[in-house]
Structure 1
Amino acid sequence: MKISHRIAASRPLATTAMHGRVEAFRNEGMGIIDFSIAISHFPPPAPVLDAVTAAVQEERTMPYTGVAGALDVRRSLCTKLQRENGIDAKAGEIIVTNGAKQALYEALYAMTDPGDSVLIFKPHWPAYVTTCQLLGLTPVLVDLPDQVTPATLGACPRADLVIINNPHNPTGKVYTKQELEAIRDWVEANGSQVIVDESYEHLSFGPAHTSFATLCDWRALGVVTIFSASQSYAMMGWRLGFALAPLEIAEAMQTLQGPITAAASHLAQVATVAAFDCGPQQHMIDEYRERRDTVLRHVREVPWIEMKCPDSGPYLWGDVRALTHDTEAFAEALLAEEGVAIMPGDALGVPGFIRIGYICDDTWTLMEGVRRLVAFGDRMAARR
């Protein structure tokens, strides 16, 4: 039996691997509290459920659509981009995908050749590096500065393509307009193309989100912007996403998507339109802010962890270097001793940190998980 060298040399995506382990433990009856991933306790918006129900009841068959998505769906997403992001786009520049991961894979595949370099700021969403490795690309990892300036960018190596995650997973950073303008000037000077992941565009707790494409000639520069319904609309398992790309890149992405999945399912496309028509879900943002602040108050006096208050997103990013730099071992021991799953910073490019998804389950379960985490860390500190 032969397994290809390219897949044999690859590792499963860290986030999905940990979530799979948690699911396996739960199937065995173990009460695991899962902070390793962010799965909202909210239901999807009612208009989404209504639209999908109506589609099931009113249509005898669920039709195949064009690979990029039904024309009316893509036109609706163009309206969303104009209304919410200030981006003028045409339907041919939109491709509907099975979540942000598919859009990322297809964009990287279409925009690069094996051996090309991809600059990624760390900590990073693990899929960026893993996808680059699968495609034979060279990830170039650079520390994400507190503030992006021409000087910090000037110290970065040139790359064929740059990935920007705004708002940022896991730190919660929301790039300012000035920072994005500095990135624009830098990539233009270097002749780099850009993928901008704006999956968390509606999860800001205050700072305004600016779409990178509004600050440049995105068609000429070669900018692909990725959007997702997963976190903003509590629809993680629905696998809904889309990408905005210059026509040549969008068509190349379609060429790849055709033999892989063809179009996203008809029902997923119906749900995508309904979700993005809903706009920001303020009730979700308000509760996430309250949960964020509650956890931060609880750990404020814990000597071995430092957590900055994130400006966005479903994660808290904790510095535990005062306790250990080996956060993989920390995460394994925490899971074994306390039944709490977290994501070690090693998987996101920065050992000595941990990522906590704080939007799952009820508030009591959230705080019980935090209590167990603190108790575990206190025991570890006492043994040192």
Structure 2
Amino acid sequence: MKISQRIAASRPLATTAMHGRVEAMKLEGREVIDFSIAISHFPAPEPVLRAVREGLSSQRSLPYTAVVGAAGLRDSLLRKLREENRLSARRDEVIVTNGAKQALYEALYVMTDPGDSVIVFRPHWPAYVATAELLGLRPLLVDLPARITPAFLDSLPPARVLIINNPHNPTGKVYGRDELEAIAAWLARRQCHAIVDESYEKLIFSGRHHSLAALCDWRALGIVTIFSASQSYAMMGWRAGFALAPAAVVDAMQTLQGPITAAAPALTQLATQAAFACGDPSDMLADYRTRRDLVVDMFAPVPWIDMPSPDSGPYLWGDVSRLTMDTVGFAEALLERQAVAVMPGDALGVPGFIRIGFISDDVATLRRGAEAIIRFGNEFAGRQPKQG
């Protein structure tokens, strides 16, 4: 059967493809340590589980809701935005989605036309580029600097939309207030819109999270802000997210969402409301900080890797360029020989790096996996030809 040209040239996301390979190996009976993505060892918060249990035990059936989400849920999300993000909005400016990916797809779909340019900072979450390409857009990849300055922004090419990930996956960068204000001023000068992915807003070890939309007239600039419960509340498989956008954008997004999935599932909406009312996940964050410090300390004396301590997020972003730029080959060999999966930097736009998700399994498994990477890297380094 002929497959459409729209999809024939596309490939599965490298992140999900690697995780799929790990799952297949496990089904074959092999023991694999999976650092390729970040799946929390924490359960979803108890208020989430309680809300779903109560929903299931209710005598009434779970209803369809409006495509944008139940009114009560959206009112609850407005309170979250007001109290935590310092954002004032209306109910018709919020849409509940099946996770951040759906919000991204819909926002890009309604804000652009085929052939438009979209700026994506590199390294990047692979879905940004893949979604843009699916929609016939031109992703412009720009290296993310240590700090965003007006001069850097003025060097960017013209584009319809700028995609920002704050906090950033995979580097853990948390944008400073001055950086976000510079971005807002640049958006106004360039008449460029923005999609801001704030999925990691709760996973901050140092610094403070600021929403770009809280620092400017987000309606006038055309800024869409995406939120997800997946990482902030250890709800990776729940597909619970929402977006804040100008009312006209939300209206267009629901027109698209209606024939695709309609509303998010009723149980997911109950879980979403409970999750975003939980506040900061302090116990989970303390655990993640301990794990981050453990692995960073383990890699500190290793000469072939530079592993900085990230300010946020569930990932470590290690520079192995002194060892090899073929990080795809490195990751493939590591998986085959040590049964440890990492994400090669190529999948995120930057060869010579590896991404390690450090929040899965127990600490003993985390330590064993890090030791296996170090052992493999040392052997790999010993096989390299001498320079001179």
TM range (shorter): over 0.9
Look up the match of 1:10.
10
Cα deviation 1:281-305 (Å, max 9, x = unaligned): 0001111001000001100010000
Cα deviation 1:94-148 (Å, max 9, x = unaligned): 1100000000000000100000000010000000000000000000000000010
The SS at the match of 1:237 is coil
The SS at the match of 2:232 is coil
Cα deviation 1:170-194 (Å, max 9, x = unaligned): 0000000000011111111111000
Distance 1:105 1:156 in 2: 23
Distance 1:129 1:23 in 2: 25
Please say if 1:110 is aligned against 2:110: yes
Distance 2:59 2:296 in 1: 48
Please say if 1:158 is aligned against 2:141: no
The code of the aligned residue for 1:119 comes to: I
Look up the match of 1:180.
180
The SS at the match of 1:52 is helix
Distance 2:26 2:129 in 1: 29
Look up the match of 2:327.
327
Distance 1:85 1:166 in 2: 13
Q: Which segment drifts farther, 64-73 or 52-61? A: 52-61
Mapping of residues 237-276 of structure 1, within 5 Å:
237-276=237-276
- CA drift at 1:60: 2.9
Distance 1:2 1:297 in 2: 52
Distance 2:6 2:375 in 1: 42
Distance 2:89 2:155 in 1: 34
Which consecutive unaligned segments of at least 5 residues does structure 2 have?
A: none
The code of the aligned residue for 1:21 comes to: R
Cα deviation 1:215-237 (Å, max 9, x = unaligned): 11111110000000000100000
Look up the match of 1:383.
383
Cα deviation 1:150-209 (Å, max 9, x = unaligned): 111122112110001000000000000000011111111111000000000000002110
Cα deviation 1:336-358 (Å, max 9, x = unaligned): 00000000000000000000000
Please say if 1:93 is aligned against 2:117: no
Look up the match of 2:74.
74
TM-score by length of 1: 0.99
Distance 2:371 2:186 in 1: 45
The SS at the match of 2:277 is helix
Distance 1:259 1:304 in 2: 51
Cα deviation 1:240-274 (Å, max 9, x = unaligned): 00000100000000000000000000000000000
The code of the aligned residue for 1:311 comes to: D
Distance 2:59 2:85 in 1: 32
Mapping of residues 23-42 of structure 1, within 5 Å:
23-42=23-42
Mapping of residues 1-384 of structure 1, within 5 Å:
1-384=1-384
Q: Go from structure 1 to structure 2 and tell me whether the alpha carbon gap of 1:59 and 1:120 turns closer, same or farther (over 3 Å shift).
A: farther
- CA drift at 1:367: 0.6
Distance 2:188 2:318 in 1: 34
Distance 2:158 2:324 in 1: 33
The code of the aligned residue for 2:49 comes to: L
The SS at the match of 2:368 is helix
CA RMSD of aligned residues (A): 0.6
Count of matched residue positions in the alignment of Structure 1 and Structure 2: 384
Distance 1:350 1:156 in 2: 19
Runs of 4+ displaced beyond 2 Å:
none
The SS at the match of 1:173 is coil
Distance 1:158 1:353 in 2: 29
The code of the aligned residue for 1:4 comes to: S
The SS at the match of 1:267 is helix
- CA drift at 1:40: 0.2
Distance 2:191 2:153 in 1: 14
Distance 2:24 2:206 in 1: 38
Distance 2:294 2:52 in 1: 35
Which consecutive unaligned segments of at least 5 residues does structure 1 have?
A: none
Distance 2:154 2:340 in 1: 41
The SS at the match of 1:140 is strand
Distance 1:74 1:277 in 2: 12
TM-score by length of 2: 0.98
Distance 1:383 1:182 in 2: 47
The code of the aligned residue for 1:224 comes to: V
The SS at the match of 1:69 is coil
